[in-house]
Amino acid sequence: MEPRVLFRTHYQVDEPALMEFLVKRCTSPIRSAYNESVAQKLAEEVQHRGKKFNVAAGGYALDLARGLSLVNEQNVWTDRGHLVNLHAETEDRNWDAELELNSRERLLHFRLFLEGDGAALLSIARYLLDHGKMPNSDGDWNQLAKMLFVEIYSEYHTMAGTTADRVALRREVDRIRSRGYEGKSGPHKMFVHLQTLHRLDLVDRVATSTSRNYRLESDSGRRNLRSLVSEIPDLYALERAVQEHRLFEIAAKVFGIEHGPVAQDRSPEELIQLVVPYYRQVVATGVSQCPLSTVIESVQIGLLDEGRELIHYDAALDLIQKAQQKRVGEIRFHVDRRGTPAFLKLSDELLASSS
């Protein structure tokens, strides 16, 4: 069992927008790259926008991208990397402007970070709802980081289904308890989680010249954070939400997106027409197969952001499968090792008729 925590972090690597640049400007959907090359490219992209950023930090950013499953070990895009490419915007603006997330990017990063870092985000959310603010001295940060990770790994220990998992998680709990964090270690462990919550408009950050000050000040932030904890009260609920592909349903509630009736009543043909534009963009990158999850989640993001319409992942998949049954020669699936549809192939004829 792999805890949903981004553990190896760096003080310069705390912004979700960095993942957009790493995917869109520094890695490829089809070509592998050396770690050092990716780190160097990212450092140059950030420096070009007037921000200090070294190559070592670029290496930590690459670790973060892997923790979020955006790139594989060869630094090639995964299905989630394609999702970032479809919905993130990277321009030649100053760095502060680049860090702001638009509504579509907030949905994107909510989905990515909840899957990859949800245990940490939920633990911090509960702390903030109880205390209203985070401490901002180094000593308090270290104590808080220790408490946070002991709590998370202990909770995963109770959930572990195998002896090997329980032993590994117990060892990690004991290690954190005995060693703790010193100096800047604690703040560096905390910043990526807190800054992500801030960019998602769930936590307020008060700007000071000497320290970071995260707190709940706005009624909307408090309400949305409480909604997150209500929807996902514990790690069991987090695991179920990820496995059942319900993260965008939760996002709609957390962000207070008013939407009409869920879109399951769309016809299979209507759903395919929504898929086609995203499919075109994915195959235009040169990949031989289009990840099915990428186009389904893109439809979910697009409907929520543009039409205030919610469609469940399984309902969208069911509609695509029904369309495939009617148009066997034009819509095909490739399955993964478990025999589950994982990739989508649309014929040239279908794409031409959808122009």
* 322-354 tens-digit pLDDT: 999 999 999 999 988 888 899 999 999 999 988
Measured at the CA of 17, the angle between CA 129 and CA 172, to 5 degrees, comes to: 55
**Residue 257 above 70 pLDDT?**
yes
For range 186-202, the mean pLDDT: 92
For range 243-255, the mean pLDDT: 95
Q: What is the Cα–Cα distance from 232 to 238, expressed in whole angstroms?
A: 6
For range 180-201, the mean pLDDT: 90
**Residue 260 above 70 pLDDT?**
no
Measured at the CA of 159, the angle between CA 156 and CA 165, to 5 degrees, comes to: 70
What pLDDT, on a 0 to 100 scale, did the predictor assign at position 210? 65
Asked whether the whole model's pTM tops 0.85, one would answer yes
Is the Cβ–Cβ distance between 208 and 214 less than 8 Å? no
Within 13 Å and on the Cβ side, how many CA atoms surround 253? 12
Q: What is the Cα–Cα distance from 282 to 78, expressed in whole angstroms?
A: 11
CATH of domain 263-353: 1.10.10
Percent of the chain's residues with pLDDT above 70? 97
Backbone angles phi, psi at 305, to 5 degrees: -75, -40
Q: What is the per-residue DSSP string for 138-176?
A: HHHHHHHHHHHHHHHHHHHHHH--SHHHHHHHHHHHHHH
Instruction: Tell me what the pLDDT averaged over the chain comes to.
Output: 92
Q: What is the Cα–Cα distance from 69 to 81, expressed in whole angstroms?
A: 8
Q: So where are the chain's domains? A: 17-236, 263-353
**Residue 11 above 70 pLDDT?**
yes
Backbone angles phi, psi at 88, to 5 degrees: -90, 150
What pLDDT, on a 0 to 100 scale, did the predictor assign at position 246? 96
Instruction: Give residue-wise pLDDT tens across range 20-78.
Output: 999 999 999 999 999 999 999 999 999 999 899 999 999 999 999 999 999 999 999 99
What pLDDT, on a 0 to 100 scale, did the predictor assign at position 261? 62
Q: Which residue type does 353 have?
A: S
